[in-house]
Structure 1
Amino acid sequence: MEKPTENAVIAINRLQEREKEQMLIMSICAALSRALNKKELESLVNGILKDNFQFDDFILASSDESKGDYFIFHSTDKYIDSKSYATNDGFFDDCINSPDVVSFDLSNSKHPEYIQNIYKKGSKNAFGIGLPYIKGNRNVLFLFFKNAKTFSRESNRILRGIVMQLSITLRNIMLTQQNESVLAELEIMKQNILGKKEKNIQKKQGFQGIIGTSDAMKDVYELIAQGASSNSTVLILGETGTGKELVASAIHNLSEVSNQKMIKVNCASIPENLIESELFGHEKGAFTGATEQRIGKFEQAENSTIFLDEIGELPLELQGKLLRVLQEKEIERVGGNKSIKVNARVIAATNKILEKEVYGERFRSDLYFRLNVYPIKLPALRDRKEDIPVLGHFFLEKHAAKMGRNLKRFSKKVLNSMMANPWPGNVRELENMVERSILFAKDEKIKEMIFPEIVMASSDTLVNEFYTKPLQEVEKEHILKVIKKCNGRISGPQGAAVLLGLPSTTLTSRMKKLGIKKEHFLD
């Protein structure tokens, strides 16, 4: 017979064990209460739950109470599919209908397919418990073990202690998923509505999103339509803000590769030391920081279109490499030694006068001639004033709709001022001015528009400054300068042909055509 002191010690030990269990239950419940999505639940399953229950696989199954099947809400077995299972499969329903933890021998071939898969992994036993009912779903937790002894009496008590919180957590996660789904649908609806508004605005007028009905713009539309069907290189010329990127997009959208994405590169926005890598890509280890291989823009534009905006800003040393791409249709990645064939149509644009850049030796003449296969010159806004009211009302409708403002027209005074303004920033400046005016408008009519004071050079001054010589003369002078720099050498490593990026035979032929003789460059 046990002594009274021994009984007291046993009772105290049991109380201490129960207290530890309760503390553990509270700790697990606190962790579960903070889980609001599947990722956080997965972290708990692989962490605190697995540490304390030592299971080999974990499954949470859920059934909509209005349906006769259930699905796997969460599983540590990544190979379980997402199909539904009948609730009366002798597995799920046994747990739902039992107030106790139910044990299963997994060797029973009548179990669902996903249970058989877990059995094949080595688990011999499973313990399932129906979670306390919360309106909307009936849920069951299954724990799988290769050794049933791992699930002890203490495990059973702890499991019973956490099932209510687990049921609440499961419901919270489902509600979070529903809310996120509703918010995503609302965002899609919002974007669709805004997109339809903008499309409806654009459908009313314009050519491929380009607004303007003047004769000058009709000529541009004709050039776009004709050039889109070929694969020739296009050079778009025009002042800043005239819509060069819109024209490039129109050419691409009307071409045979319109189903492919057009790749855009702004040559002015990329640092000189990175632009070669940006255009042609680089190999791993090509330079400091090149930790992996990079595919350049030309390769990304394979069987599509690459738009090189601000081509006049391309560094001289890169111009020769671009010329090779245009002539040979191949590139070399930085740090690579293999030529890669590329098939990409090039559309280039610049607001610079390239003839002047060639004359000043800031742009290669051979590259200019190679780019200038199909030029499209965009008129300045001041040269198509009849489009100003059309563009103004287009931008008014577009931005008023975005801002939720009921603005419909301009006052006669503002329209007259818009027509008289020189618009040095062209269409982009007009759009910005209209958007700014909408913000300050107090009723449905724009009555004021404040224009910045900018002194514009006369058209005669612009012509005299930017264009003074025929192209052949510019090319002749450039070639002569290079040959003189090379002390009269035409071919060889130190010859002019290398600097010009031309075969010596081509350079000789070109010199003959331009009338360049030895006496022109030899003293």
Structure 2
Amino acid sequence: MNKLSDPNIDLITRLQEMQKEYLVISSITAAFAKVLDKKHFSSVLNQSFKNEFLFNEVIILTAQDNKQQIFYSSMITEEHDNNNSDSLDIYFGQCIQSPEPVVFYLKDFSERKVSIPYFTRGKKLGMHMAIGFFLPPVGDHKNVVFLFYKNFTEFNDRLERILRGISTQLSITVRNVSFSERLDVYESQISNPQKEIKNVKDEERSKEGFNGIIGNSEVIQQIYRQISQVAFSPSNVIIYGETGTGKELIAQAIHELSSSSHHAMIRINCASIPANLIESELFGHEKGSFTGATEQRKGKFEQANGGTVFLDEIGELPLILQGRLLRVLQEKEIERIGGNKTIKVNVRIIAATNRILEKEVAEGRFRSDLFYRLNVFPIHLPALRERKEDIPLLAHYFLEKHHLKTGKKINGFSRKVIHAMCENPWPGNIRELENMVERSILTAKDSIIKEMEFPKGIFPQNKDQEFQIQTLQQVEKEYILKVVEKCNGRISGKHGAAVLLGLPSTTLISKMQKLGIQKGHYFKENE
């Protein structure tokens, strides 16, 4: 048996190295993703993170509105910890401007020249060099990590790739820990029934959230992670969620974190544009192409070239236009109505819907080929009732947003109202909560909102009557049966149920057998 040629050996070696790097990145990212307080953060930073980068000391600086402060330091004690600044220092700014890690040789800085506390302290502790790296920003928070070394070392490509791979999660974790610290203060107020609930400082509360998204629950943190994972890629995204859950806000966050954020994000509500106008709205038209077309007009896809198109309520798009949209995705080109010129466009599609698109496909209202093109990276937004721990944060955010325009000074909510909001099911989700807070500001008689009148009928008389509880197996069995019936009993092939369900036919047959689905369930006896 011949030995592998040298190129093959090199390729296998490189693949093995890439796999090891991926495992390291996954391990450190997973460790940071579980962090919610500074003590846990310090533990992860000084274990798995330090084991990989072998630094002696570490400092993380954070800045917001050009106000800089030390978020974490392993070498600056409390007497040295007064390092807040109303402006960014030159070295912090240098890291922000650099796409690569910046190397600082501390011997080059004299005491007179260096008034930067963390460099001064590093020199006194015997550090010879520092590596500064700008982490991806989260909202308007900018973070830079400095790794200090006593011995001169080479920060090689492998370390840079690992640092870059974990940088987004590290930045999110810094944000989460900061948020959690302020949340602890707020929760301590809630736990004291003798006190009315006060707001966290306006300037702090108004800056909360991940790119404008408010929440710190586990389910919403998973959404933050998904946004971070997909933002830097050109992949298409579908955002699923009930009405009022904030689907457009998620789309905006993905766009702002993407490499095309300097281009426009064009929004289109497929449900609000009349069917006879939507084609012109999307693809544009030439002068004289139809009655009323008095001039040439560029469509939304041309306007968004190089950027993002957000298609809200994609499930409402007429079938005939779904085919044209599919061409845009496949060929990356359009034609204006009445024109014969092909126009190349490069846009990223983010779609949103409150429908179950798989069901729409099964019932023939949505093209399966378009569905698979769009459904590259699905994000499922939780309803507000599934993230109740975020309700107090959202309520105070909306309180600050609306109380100024009413001219009334409202300081917060009573504990009774906070409890009532957390128990409310909120069928209209975040949009309904915002409307209720605004209404309560208008009707408030004191500086504290002590009453909130919820719409009548919002609480069902008997919650058990809302739906019949079924096991997941029952739900899955019923859904598969409906799809198979829709396909006239056909399992495999081009028009079979397996294609609609996105499964290999052998997998679907095996699943049907496990669920006890037999031919008699979907074929009539006379067939």
Report the TM-score, using the length of structure 2 for normalisation: 0.52
**Of 334, 339, 355, which residue of structure 1 is paired with 2:337?**
334
**Residue matched to 1:321:** 324
Structure 2 runs not aligned, ≥5 long: 1-200, 510-521
Decide whether the 8 Å contact of 1:227 with 1:251 is kept in 2: yes
Distance of 1:239 and 1:475 partners within structure 2: 23
| Secondary structure at the counterpart of residue 333 of structure 1 | coil
Post-superposition CA distance 1:373-397 (Å, at most 9, x none): 0001000000011011111111111
1:29-178 pair list within 5 angstroms:
none
Structure 1 residue aligned with 2:192: none
Shift of 1:402: 2.8
Q: 1:275 to 1:399 in 2, by over 3 A?
A: same
Aligned to 1:88: none
Residue pair 2:202, 2:400 contacting (<8 A) in 1 also: no
| Cα distance in 1 between the residues matched to 2:446 and 2:469 | 42
State how far apart, in whole Å, the 2-side matches of 1:407 and 1:450 are: 17
Q: Which residue does 2:452 correspond to in 1?
A: 449
Task: Show the counterpart of 1:254.
Answer: 257
CA offset at residue 360 of structure 1?
1.9
Match of 1:402 in 2: 405
Instruction: Please tell me the residue identity of whatever aligns with 2:377.
Output: Y
User: What is the Cα deviation at residue 403 of structure 1?
Assistant: 2.3
Task: Please name the residue that 1:388 is paired with.
Answer: 391
Change (3 A) 1:233 1:216: same
Q: Which residue of 2 aligns with 1:373?
A: 376
What is the DSSP-based 3-state SS (H/G/I as helix, E as strand, rest coil) of the residue aligned with 1:206? coil
Q: How far has the Cα of 1:359 moved from its partner?
A: 1.9
Whole-Å Cα distance in 2 between the matches of residues 355 and 391 of structure 1? 32
1:390-469 residue pairs with structure 2 within 5 A?
Answer: 390-452=393-455, 453-454=457-458, 455=460, 458=466, 468=476
Aligned to 2:225: 222
Letter of the 2:339 counterpart: G
Correspondence for 1:90: none
Change in 2 beyond 3 A, CA 1:394/1:259: same
- Offset of residue 339 of structure 1: 2.0
CA deviation profile, 1:382-428 (whole Å, cap 9, x unmatched): 00110111111111111112323211111122111111110000011
Counterparts of 2:414 and 2:391 in 1: how far apart (Å)?
14
Shift of 1:513: 8.8
- On the 8 A contact 2:206/2:397 being kept in 1, the answer is no
Partner AA of 1:398 in structure 2: K
Q: Which residue of 2 aligns with 1:232?
A: 235
Distance 1:482 1:326, change over 3 A: farther
What's 1:345 paired with? 348
How far apart, in 1, do the equivalents of 2:324 and 2:338 lie? 14
| 2:366 counterpart of 1:360 | no
Q: Which residue of 2 aligns with 1:284?
A: 287
Matched pairs, number: 302
Deviates more, 1:388-397 or 1:357-366: 357-366
Distance 1:203 1:451, change over 3 A: closer
Match 2:301 to one of 285, 298, 303: 298
What is the one-letter code of the residue matched to 1:288?
A: T
Moved more, 337-346 or 376-385: 337-346
Distance 1:288 1:386, change over 3 A: same
SS in 2 for 1:306: strand
Deviation at 1:291, TM superposition (A): 1.3
Tell me: CA distance 1:295–1:472, structure 2 relative to 1, closer, same or farther (3 Å): farther
Using the alignment, how far apart are the partners of 1:200 and 1:514 within structure 2?
54
Cα deviation 1:181-213 (Å, max 9, x = unaligned): xxxxxxxxxxxxxxxxx9946653111000000
Letter in 2 for 1:253: E
CA distance in 2, matches of 1:461, 1:335: 54
Q: Using the alignment, how far apart are the partners of 2:406 and 2:434 within structure 1?
A: 14
Q: Which residue of 2 aligns with 1:263?
A: 266
Relative distance call for 1:513 and 1:301 in structure 2 (3 A) is farther
Taking the aligned partners of 1:513 and 1:332, their CA distance within structure 2 comes to 41
Change in CA separation of 1:331 and 1:514 when aligned onto 2, cut-off 3 Å: farther
Match of 2:61 in 1: none
Q: Which residue of 2 aligns with 1:124?
A: none
Matches within 5 A, 1:5-20: none
CA contact (8 A) 1:361 1:478 kept: no
1:460, distance to aligned residue in structure 2 (A): 5.8
Cα displacement string for residues 318-376 of structure 1 (whole angstroms, at most 9, x for unaligned residues): 11111111111111211222221110000000111112212221111221111110001
The one-letter code of the counterpart of 2:344 is K
Q: SS where residue 335 of structure 1 aligns?
A: coil
Match status 1:208 vs 2:211 = yes
Q: TM-score, normalised by structure 1?
A: 0.52
| CA distance in 2: counterparts of 1:305 and 1:470, whole angstroms | 38
Residues 10-68 of structure 1: per-residue CA shift (max 9 Å, x gap): xxxxxxxxxxxxxxxxxxxxxxxxxxxxxxxxxxxxxxxxxxxxxxxxxxxxxxxxxxx
